[in-house]
Structure 1
Amino acid sequence: MDFWIRLITLIIVALVLFLGTTTAFAYLTLFERRLLARLQHRIGPNRAGPGGFLQPLADAVKLFFKEDITPTNADKVIYTIAPALAMIPAILLFAVIPFGAYLDLSGLLGESTRVVPLQFTDINVGMLYLLSVTSIGVYGITLGGWSSNNKYSMLGGIRSAAQLISYELALGLSILVAIMLTAAPAQQAGYPLPVCNVMFPNEAYSALSTCRIVESQAGWWNIFKPTGLIAFAVFWLASTAEVVRAPFDLVEAEQELVGGYNTEYSSMKFALFFMAEYIKLIAVSAIGVTLFLGGWRGPGVDTLYSAGYPNVAGLVSVGYFLLKLIFFLFLSVWVRATLPRFKYNQLMDL
């Protein structure tokens, strides 16, 4: 019975994670367009629904009904699966990201203890998992550009491979700093990990665990430590290049490559590439929040757990995480509205 309850709980968490991710993607596009409009003294989308609230739905319907064109000379098999190869790793990144602490549903399920972690899973090599999955996404973009049999698409794919591989090293080094800051207090006698021990009671301590990284920031967040601040700056620059965002969006520079790697794509295949880009932006921002901004930690969370209000504490922890995530996404949009695109040689020399 316990196995089935756990399985059903995991399925529900996975569905909520998937639906939440796709909804966040849809309204991130609206958030970006409205914020860019405000920064550039424009009105922005305001026709579909009240205040433009239904604009993402209108965009989805438009793309769904567009004609799905496959170029005659394209490698049709790879051309078809490339968008999925870009999309799947972007979603898999969320598997080990802690969006909150935990809820206690003991009363609802009629058991003495039924803790529901607000994280799909936690593994002892969580950060290695994130780095490996992040690097897989380049295959979808590169294969999409190559299979289109178009010179602009091919150049976009080559640029993507060079850019993502180049900035993986800087991204990994910045993450290593956060791991070292996590490992340091673990050497102290009696180092407490109360929330992680409740969420995942059978797991040993590991500095590569995302849950432990958040738990280690119970005092000062990593961004407030000298080495952590430098690592945060490096992480932010490298992650911006990693998700191909302005001013590092050389992969799809319209003035040079028409549309880049997705020039020949249309309809829902184009939509999958578009979704992959924004979902990966959300995922990388969530990783940054977890590593440097304390994750779901904030004033009052531990106090509410100690006072016997675990469900309120869990919801408050999710609220803290979302606020930090919105701040991270705001930085990305702000930079896009402010800085011009680098030349390709400048990007690679940086």
Structure 2
Amino acid sequence: MMPLRITENIHNWLFSVMPEGVASLVEMTLIAVVYLTIFAVAGLFLVLLERRVAAWFQLRIGPNRVGPQGLLQTMADAIKLLTKELTGTEKADKFLYNLAPYFVIISALMALAVIPFSAEFHAFDINIGIFFLIAISSIGVIGILLGGWSSNNKYALIGAMRSGVQTISYELSVGLSLLTMVVITGSLQLSEIIEVQKSGWLILQGHIPAAIAFMVFMISGTAETNRAPFDMVEAESELGAGFHTEYSGMKFAYFFLAEFINMFIISAIAATVFFGGWLSPFGITESIPELGVFWFLLKTMALVFLMMWFRWTFPRLRVDQLLTLEWKYLLPINLVNLVLMALLVWLNLTLRL
């Protein structure tokens, strides 16, 4: 019995009952609704998971009042933020102040669209997928810079300036670690990168250089999402709330939600590039494609837990330590690692070859 191809069936039905132009518009609207739903649900779940993990590490109970076992706590928080008054400073640049959160949220949504959840669940499969992700991830920092500057608050401005320095610095290591894996696959397209891994995950095919690239990617990805121990952008003990000090209600929620979605995106990219994405480690995904989403989410959530582990284990770095780690250690390691991977491929020493 052939597996049910839900997306293909919906596509064929829409084009059979509607004119082509209308069917295409309805199809794009459905895809947008699905991804917005994923965005909202994933954000609420990750906030709850963060609180649970934090409580576990700190020997606390965590959320346990709203709903069974506190499962509705984040939903209550979302309703609270929806009903809060939108405040701001009198001398803020109103246009840029209101525009900033949308840069952050839209860049996260665009990156999410390129992630392959399974062989069939992939909204935007382009041949420059890795390049697209690196480019889109650079847009989010514009929202942080605009929000910090337009708030007319010195703490917000300092947080925004730190974000610009930190994101631009660590993007180099993120890009080079992904480029190291592109060398072994010969493709920027995420679906082709997964196809290469049917004979084995890239972290195994690429030997030690692949393992080094993975470690550098996770460290740099954590820094790029402004999460502890790299949260100098929002250092509460110094800057209040950093770049979003003057934001409240849903505008604050956009920044807050984007951080968790970006954590999911970083983990999803790592799961796709290094661990085979939706491919099963036991080779059964091919016969049951619907299991692809399960394997993809399992790998991604394991890496999300790793990023949360970072946060609740290491103390916050100073600004000089943060930049020293990137420019004196991660970047040189990445450059040498890229050359090593190129030599492995040239000498046909990767496991795939």
- Normalising by structure 2, report the TM-score: 0.83
1:139 is paired with a residue whose SS is helix
When the two structures are aligned, how many residues end up with a matched partner? 304
The alignment-based identity, stated in percent, is 46
Partner residue of 2:195 out of 187, 209, 215: 215
In the other structure, the counterpart of 1:130 is 133
Instruction: Give the partner amino acid of 1:13.
Output: I
Maintained 8 Å contact 1:301/1:317: no
2:81 to 39, 48, 63: 63
- CA distance in 1: counterparts of 2:293 and 2:258, whole angstroms: 23
Asked if 1:97 is matched to 2:115, the reply is yes
Distance 1:127 1:82 in 2: 25
Cα distance between partner residues in 1 of 2:83 and 2:215: 42
**Counterpart code for 2:303:** F
For 1:249, the equivalent position in structure 2 comes to 231
Match of 2:328 in 1: none
**Contact 1:63–1:271 (CA<8 Å) still a contact in 2?**
yes
Structure 1 residue 287 corresponds to structure 2 residue 305 = no
Offset at residue 5 of structure 1 (A): 5.2
Structure 2 residue runs without a partner (length 5+) = 1-14, 326-353
**1:162 aligned onto 2:165:** yes
- Find the counterpart in structure 1 of residue 344 from structure 2: none
Q: Deviations over 1:177-204 (max 9, x none)?
A: 1111111xxxxxxxxxxxxxxxxxxxxx
Equivalent position amino acid for 2:144 in 1: I
Aligned counterpart for 2:219 among listed residues 223, 231, 237: 237
- Indicate which of 272, 279, 283 corresponds to 1:300: 283
1:66 deviates by 1.6
2:289 counterpart (314, 332, 341): 314
Residue correspondence of structure 1 range 180-191 to structure 2 within 5 A: 180-183=183-186
> Deviations 1:304-343 (Å, cap 9, x if unpaired)?
1xxxxxxxx2221110000001101100111111111111
Shift of 1:10: 4.2
Alignment of 1:26 with 2:9, yes or no, is no
Q: Paired residue for 2:301?
A: 326
**For 2:106 and 2:122, how far apart are their aligned partners in 1?**
18
2:145 pairs, out of 127, 136, 142, with: 142
Which ranges of structure 1 fall in alignment gaps of 5 or more residues?
A: 103-117, 184-206, 305-312
Q: For each residue in 1:228-284, what CA deviation from the matched residue of structure 2 results, as whole angstroms up to 9, or x when unmatched?
A: 111101100110111011100110001111110011111111111111111111111
Give the deviation of 1:148 after TM superposition.
Answer: 0.6
Aligned equivalent of 2:240: 258
Q: CA deviation at 1:6?
A: 5.6
- Given that 2:285 and 2:291 are in contact with CA atoms closer than 8 Å, whether structure 1 keeps it comes out as no
- In structure 2, C-alpha distance between the alignment counterparts of 1:275 and 1:73, rounded to whole Å: 26
Q: 1:47 aligns with which of 62, 65, 77?
A: 65
